[in-house]
Amino acid sequence: MESVTATRKETQSQAAADKASAGPTTVQQETDGFHLLIDALKQNGIDTIFGLPGIPITDLTRKAQAAGLRVISFRHEQNAGYAASIAGFMTQKPGICLTVSAPGFLNGLTALANATTNCFPMILISGSSEREIVDLQQGDYEEMDQLAIAKPLAKAAFRVLHAEDIGIGVARAIRAAVSGRPGGVYLDLPAKLFPQAVDAATGRNSLIRVVDPAPRQIPSEQSVMRAVELLQNAKRPLIILGKGAAYAQADADIRALVEKTGIPYLPMAMAKGLLPDTHDLSAAAARSYVLPEADVVMLIGARLNWLLSHGKGKTWGGASPKAWGGQKFIQVDISPTEADSNVRIDAPVVGDIGSCVSAMLKAVDSKWRKPPEDWLTAIAERKNKNVAKMAETLAKNPTPMNFHSALAVVRDIVKANPDAMLVNEGANALDFTRSIVDMYKPRKRLDVGTWGVMGIGMGFSIAAAVVSGQQVIAVEGDSAFGFSGMEVETICRYNLPVCIVILNNNGVYRGDEVNPTGGADPSPLVFVKDARYEKLMEAFGGVGVHATTPAALRTAMEEAVRSRRPTLINAIIDERAGTESGRITSLNPTAKKK
C-alpha cells in the first residue's frame, strides 16, 4: 500500500486551540521532498541505502532510518557506491548510494562508472548545490554541474527540481538501471528540493510503483534455432558463462542446458559457482587448451572484451595477435549492439538470459547428440593434469607461507561453508584465489570485474553481508585492502560477519623491490615491512589475528566463521611471492617480464 509519510503542518494557534478544546483536530496534511523520496524508494521495494551523510542529505539519512529503511553509513562514498552496485548485482534491484554534493558525488562517481561498465544496476543519488548559483558559476558551496559530469559515465542521468516530480524521477531511474542491459544511473537532487512542501494527497498521487521494471525480452525463434543448429553441428563446442549469466538468476535452466547438451563450459570469474566448480563439464582448469581448440563457442552473458582477449589472437589460436582463430560464435545477450563488437558473431541470440536459455532448452530435444567423445576426453586429460599439478603445489608447506599454502586453507574453508560470500581483489591475490578456491553456488564470488578495479573489497564485503546475511570471506592483496581499509570501522559498527584475509607480502605485487638509486625513499612498489593490519580491526573492537602458518590461518578462519565476529587475519606471505600484475603482466607497456 502507498504510505506517504506526511508531515503535519499545524499553525501554532490552531494547535493551541485544539489542545485547549480537546475537540476534533483540523490539520492540513503536507509532505515534502524528503518524505516523497523515501516513500518513492520504499514503494519500489528498496529497503537499504548505502551512503555517507553531510550537506544537504544529512536529514534525509535520519528520516530514511526513521521510516524503516536500512541506512548503512560509510567512511568514504566510493565504498558506499561499490556496496550499492554489488547489492544491485546480487538482487536485480538497483542498489542505492547516497552522497553529498561535488566531492562526495565525485567520490561516488567512480563506483557508478564501474557499475555501468559491469552492467550492475545502481542509482547514485547526490544532493547538489543551488542551481541558480551553479549555472551562473557564482561560487556556491560545493558548486558543480553534477548532472553534466555524470552523464557520460552513467547509463542515464536525471535531475529533479520539483517535489511533485520525485516519483517520476525515481521511476525513471529504476527503469533505466534494471531494464535491458543494467547499469548505473545518476539522480541529481538539489538541496532546495528536500524541504519543498506538497499537499499530501498530491504527493501520494505523484508517486509511481514501477510495473515490470525489467521486462522479459523474448528471443526470436529463428535466432534460437540458428544457435542450436550451430551448436549441434560443432565438433568441439564450448560454452562460456559470464557474470551476466550469474546476474540473470536463471541458475537451474543454465545448469540444465549445460548438462542436457553435454557441452563443456568455462566460467568467467564472477560466474564461478553458477554450476559447482567441481562439475565434470567445467573446463576451467583447461582454459588455455579449450579456447584455441573449440570450433563453436557460445557466450552466455559474457563479452568478448580484454578478459577474453577480444575473441581473437593467440589465446584463440589466431596466427598473430589480432588474427581470428577460426571459431564460430553464438552470443546470448540482452544488448542487441554487443554482437560483432570484436569478432563476427554467427548466431546472436538477443533477449534476457532466462528467456533465451529456456527457449534453447526446449529446442534441445531427445534427438540431441552430445559432443564427440574425443573432445571431452582431450579436455578431461588437460584438466586432470592441471588439477593434479595444482594439488601437488597446494600440498607444500613452505616457510614463510606463499599464496598457494595460504589459499589451500581458504579453499577448504569455502568448501566447508558453500553459502559464504567470497570477495576477492588484488593482483596475485586475485589470480591465485580465482584458480585455487572452488565455488559451489551462484553469485557467491564477487570480484574486481570488467575493469579489474582495486578498492571494491570492503564495500562489496559490507553489501554482501547486509544483503545476504551470510558469512563473508574477503581475500585481499595488501595493496588492494589499502583502498578501502578504513571501512573496517563500518564492519565493526554494524557488527557484520566479515572475515578479511590479507595476503600480506609487503607491497604492490611483491615486497622485495628496492630504490635503484640507493636513496632513502623506498621503491614505489613497497609498503612498511611487517605492517600489522590486524590492529586496525582491533582498534574498532573486532578480532585481529597475525597468522604466519597455514595452521594459524585455518584456526583463525574457523573461529571467524563460528563466531561471525568481524575478523581481520594478517596472513604473512613470502615477500618474494608474486608476479608483476599477476597473470596480466603482458599488459604493462614496458615490463613484459613474467
Residue number, 270 or 480, with CB nearest to ligand ADP:
270
Choose the contact partner of 390 out of ligand ADP, ligand FYN, none; CB within 5 to 8 A by kind: ligand FYN
Residue 95 binds to ligand ADP (criterion: CB under 6 A): no
Q: Which of 285, 421, 422, 503 binds ligand FYN (CB under 6 A)?
A: 285
Q: Which of 387, 394, 486, 525 binds ligand FYN (CB under 6 A)?
A: 387
Site for ligand FYN in 508-527 (CB under 6 A): none
Choose the contact partner of 284 out of ligand FYN, ligand ADP, none; CB within 5 to 8 A by kind: ligand FYN
Choose the contact partner of 335 out of ligand ADP, ligand FYN, none; CB within 5 to 8 A by kind: ligand ADP
Residue 51 binds to ligand ADP (criterion: CB under 6 A): no
Q: Evaluate whether 349 touches 330 at the Cβ level (below 8 Å).
A: yes
Closest CA to 360 of 455, 255, 235, 274: 255
Strands, E, within 469-591: which ranges?
A: 472-477, 498-504, 543-547, 567-572
Distances (CA, A) of 243 to 259, 268, 328, 330: 19, 7, 21, 17
Q: Evaluate whether 135 touches 162 at the Cβ level (below 8 Å).
A: no
Interatomic CA distance for residues 184 and 450, integer angstroms: 14
Choose the contact partner of 434 out of ligand ADP, ligand FYN, none; CB within 5 to 8 A by kind: ligand FYN
Q: Which of 286, 334, 466, 573 binds ligand FYN (CB under 6 A)?
A: 286
Q: Is 277 helix (H, G, I), strand (E, B) or coil?
A: coil
Task: Return the C-alpha cell found at 61.
Answer: 539519512
Residues present in the chain in total? 594
Interatomic CA distance for residues 160 and 128, integer angstroms: 11
Q: What's the min distance (Å) between Cβ of 100 and ligand ADP?
A: 30
Q: How many residues bind ligand FYN (CB under 6 A)?
A: 22
Q: What's the min distance (Å) between Cβ of 202 and ligand ADP?
A: 36
Q: What's the min distance (Å) between Cβ of 450 and ligand FYN?
A: 9
Residue 247 binds to ligand ADP (criterion: CB under 6 A): yes
Residue 581 binds to ligand FYN (criterion: CB under 6 A): yes
| Residue 17 CA from chain centroid, whole number | 56
Residue 410 binds to ligand FYN (criterion: CB under 6 A): no
Residue 244 binds to ligand ADP (criterion: CB under 6 A): yes
How many CB atoms are located within 10 Å of the residue 86 CB? 33
Q: What's the min distance (Å) between Cβ of 270 and ligand ADP?
A: 5
Q: What's the min distance (Å) between Cβ of 188 and ligand FYN?
A: 31
HSE-up of residue 345 (Cα within 13 Å, Cβ side): 24
Choose the contact partner of 435 out of ligand ADP, ligand FYN, none; CB within 5 to 8 A by kind: ligand FYN
Choose the contact partner of 499 out of ligand ADP, ligand FYN, none; CB within 5 to 8 A by kind: none
Cis link prior to 56 (omega < 30° from 0)? yes
Q: Which of 75, 181, 411, 554 binds ligand ADP (CB under 6 A)?
A: 181
Kindly give, in sequence order, each residue whose CB lies less than 8 Å from that of residue 109, ignoring residues fewer than 6 positions away: 81, 124, 149, 150, 153
Which amino acid is present at 329? F
DSSP H helices, 272-368, are: 287-293, 353-363
Q: Which of 77, 164, 188, 338 binds ligand ADP (CB under 6 A)?
A: 338
Q: Decide the pairing of beta strands 567-572 and 7-9.
A: unpaired
Q: Which long-range contacts (C-beta less than 8 Å, at least 24 apart) are formed by 309-314?
A: 310/342, 310/343, 311/342, 311/343, 312/342, 312/343
**Residues pairing with 498 in the sheet:** 472
> Which of these ranges, 99-107, 113-121, 563-571, 578-586, lies near ligand FYN under the rule CB under 6 A?
578-586
Interatomic CA distance for residues 439 and 421, integer angstroms: 9
Please state the three-class secondary structure of 323-388 as a single string: CECCCEEEEEECCCCCCCCCCCCCEEEECCHHHHHHHHHHHCCCCCCCCCHHHHHHHHHHHHHHHH
Which residue bears the cell 534455432?
225
Residue number, 131 or 404, with CB nearest to ligand FYN:
404
Residue number, 158 or 509, with CB nearest to ligand FYN:
509
Residue 287 binds to ligand FYN (criterion: CB under 6 A): yes
Q: Evaluate whether 379 touches 289 at the Cβ level (below 8 Å).
A: yes
Q: Decide the pairing of beta strands 48-51 and 95-99.
A: parallel
Interatomic CA distance for residues 150 and 97, integer angstroms: 14
Q: What's the min distance (Å) between Cβ of 278 and ligand FYN?
A: 9
Residue 353 binds to ligand FYN (criterion: CB under 6 A): no
Residue number, 364 or 394, with CB nearest to ligand FYN:
394
Over the window 240 to 269, marking each residue x when it contacts ligand FYN by CB under 6 A and - when it does not, the resulting string is -----------------------------x
Residue 327 binds to ligand ADP (criterion: CB under 6 A): no
Strands, E, within 223-280: which ranges?
A: 237-241, 265-267
Task: Return the C-alpha cell found at 172.
Answer: 525513471
Q: Which of 125, 239, 284, 349 binds ligand FYN (CB under 6 A)?
A: 284
Site for ligand FYN in 427-446 (CB under 6 A): 427, 430-431, 434-435
Binding site for ligand ADP (CB under 6 A): 118-119, 181-182, 242-244, 247-248, 268, 270-271, 301-303, 305, 307, 333-335, 338, 352-353, 450
By CB under 6 A, name the binding residues for ligand FYN.
Answer: 269, 284-288, 307, 386-387, 390, 427, 430-431, 434-435, 448, 452, 454, 581-584
